[in-house]
Chains A and B, each alone.
Chain A
């Protein structure tokens, strides 16, 4: 059983560019979560899916952020018109129903 995988592991982009991250959850996990973590802080919730339905989205998530989980398997997180403040580690986690969340390795984004 493989764990949660994320791609890419690192992304460097210039301000104003769009970026897209992918997350593959543990197989059979129906819930998928996105978090963001900056240095010295705990992860901050962004959004989560149950199967293909996006059930909650943080009020902190600007309109430049969008996430999808089209077939209830992998998910993508897109950031449009990146800003330097978007630099962070983007973490994906998955769980089976009411069970514990397991995190992937994260995608580290640097916006120049």
Chain B
């Protein structure tokens, strides 16, 4: 079992709709959870992080964490074509001070 699992996609969402990206992790000791966006040929760009159970909102993005279910998700509201990218879920065992363990990423395509 992989430590961090994501559906590789592609996930196609119409422009203006909500995109929902999911991630599960195997280590119950995981403390910090991150979502990175990666455009083709570019490096990962941090878009959200969450440490506590519940929801965290930042603009059009909402991260959701459920530690009991070992599940973290990212919602993108009012999806735009510029949101088309690969979204990487990453976890650490510390409070952002240790290595990131990444999933393989979910490729998201927003259809105009």
Contact = CB atoms under 8 A, between A and B. Distances in A.
B105 A48 contact: no
Interface of A: 31, 33, 35, 40-45, 48, 56, 58, 89, 91, 93, 95, 97-106
Nearest to A6: B43
Contacts, number: 58
B34 to A, nearest CB: 7
Interface residues of B, number: 24
Given A42-B90, A91-B43, A105-B43, A31 B97 contact: yes
A72 B78 CA distance: 43
Contacts of B98: 48, 56
B30 interface: no
Contacts of B29: none
A91 B99 contact: no
